Amino acid sequence: MTVTVGVNARYCVIGNPVAHSKSPTIHAAFALQTGQGIVYERCLAPVDGFAAIVRQLVASGYSGANVTVPFKLEAAALATTLSERARAAGAVNTLSFTPSGIAGDNTDGAGLVGDILHNAGVAIAGRRVLLVGAGGAARGAILPLLQQGPRQLVIANRTAATAENLAASFNSHGVPVEACTFADLDGRFDIVVNATSASLAGDLPPLPPAVFGAGTLALDMMYAADPTPFMRFAAAHGASMRDGLGMLVEQAAEAFFVWRGVRPQTCALLAAMRPPA
């Protein structure tokens, strides 16, 4: 599928698989809203052919590309320059092809923060935040969360050493970053973000119910037509639940801003993309 809005610049999303990606629809809506002329496509890359695909795109005159699984780490290695948040994440989801090289950025964490602040209407500053998981999705979220000034950020993971190593790499930002196993979690959190892939398999991270309560926002980075097991579990213990669709739209808006210098509005698009209740 190719979405064409004017003919000024060409972009795509690179992944494997990629047919399911909502990015063409999202960026087409942003382009119409802002009057930007772009062509935006899906690009299926062989699992061992990411770099070759990027070189082809550059040679063909593309202006940039979004990157999705499983290529975000390769994109970071391929980029000639990295933004601060891309360096912190160790992964790239937004490439800009410039005369001086390939610039890599990561807008995932900014998308998460934007969804929490603007769409959910929940403040992060001064709050106790739990990040569930210590993989790439969690790493990409940490710096943008810390920049909002939470009172505490706790990273919980099945393997303590993995969480501890991740926490230690972010201990110079003025906010306490702690790590523990799921069994060692203590007390209620204001915001709980599931950054694991458990929901893709219909599974639930082994969280103690006490981390949730009235006033807790429980956000799953995954999105689907129905609430995930994490969302249902959180709601059963008093939390308000939210899926990752808002994060998806917000990270796309941030990427659009990186490329075009214009920040689109997201509320109407997000409302249109949500399935009827």
Domain-wise residue ranges, the chain: 2-106+248-273, 109-243
Count of Cβ atoms closer than 10 Å to residue 252 Cβ: 26
178 among the known binding-site residues? no
Say which residue, 173 or 129, is predicted with more confidence: 129
Average pLDDT over residues 71-85: 96
**Can you name the CATH fold of 2-106+248-273?**
Rossmann fold (3.40.50)
36 among the known binding-site residues? no
What is the C-alpha separation between 105 and 260, in angstroms, rounded? 14
What's the pTM?
A: 0.94
What is the C-alpha separation between 191 and 130, in angstroms, rounded? 6
Model confidence pLDDT, tens digit, residues 160-169: 999 999 999 9
Q: What are the residue numbers of the active site? A: 72
Same fold, 2-106+248-273 and 109-243: yes
Average pLDDT over residues 84-105: 96
136 among the known binding-site residues? yes
User: What residues contact residue 55 under an 8 Å CB cut-off, 6+ apart?
Assistant: none
Model confidence pLDDT, tens digit, residues 104-116: 999 999 999 999 9
Q: Taking the alpha carbons of 249, 254, 260, 261 in that order, is the dihedral positive or negative?
A: positive
SS3 for 147? coil
Reply yes or no on whether the pLDDT at 4 is more than 70: no
Judge whether 144 and 175 are in contact, CB under 8 Å. no
The label of the residue with tokens 């196993």 reads 181
Q: What is the pLDDT of residue 142?
A: 97
**Can you name the CATH fold of 109-243?**
Rossmann fold (3.40.50)
Q: What is the pLDDT of residue 95?
A: 98
Tokens describing residue 78: 């391929």
Pairing of strands 94-98, 64-67: antiparallel
40 among the known binding-site residues? no
Q: What is the pLDDT of residue 6?
A: 46
Reply yes or no on whether the pLDDT at 88 is more than 50: yes
